[in-house]
Amino acid sequence: QGMETESNGQDQGQKLVRKPYVLNEMEYEASLPEKKSNTLSRDLIDYVRYMIQNHGENYKEMARDEKNYYQDTPKQIKRKINVYKNFYPEEYKDFVASLKQEKMEVQ
């Protein structure tokens, strides 16, 4: 009897991956370069917004920022910001406008 419960336990473990092809497809999609997707990763958005918030359009300063985990050059950072602008023009405009508003309130 002990044997039976053991094999049942194994069966249950194997049933978890019911559709391996779905998993493979997801892994395949995850391995594709990000450019194909029509949304940007949260990381990239947060990164770009942080840089704009702290450095405006000074890409050299951005490249020196400790949060520049990717070790991006000023050109690469500019490209990322442009990608963000192209993907979310409205969000970008609102974000920049809100920053200007904050600055005016601080003064």
Q: Which two tokens stand for residue 75?
A: 């050109």
Q: What is the pLDDT of residue 39?
A: 76
**Is the separation of the CB atoms in 59 and 52 below 8 Å?**
no
Residues of the chain above pLDDT 90, percent: 50
For the chain, the helix, strand and coil percentages under 3-state DSSP, each to the nearest 5: 75, 0, 25
Which pTM value belongs to this model?
A: 0.61
Q: What is the pLDDT of residue 92?
A: 94
Helix and strand element counts for the chain (H, E): 6, 0
**How many other C-beta atoms are found inside a 10 Å radius of the C-beta of residue 48?**
22
State the pLDDT confidence band at 5, using cuts at 50, 70 and 90.
very low
pLDDT in tens, 14-32: 455 555 555 566 565 565 5
Q: What is the pLDDT of residue 100?
A: 87
Q: What is the pLDDT of residue 48?
A: 96
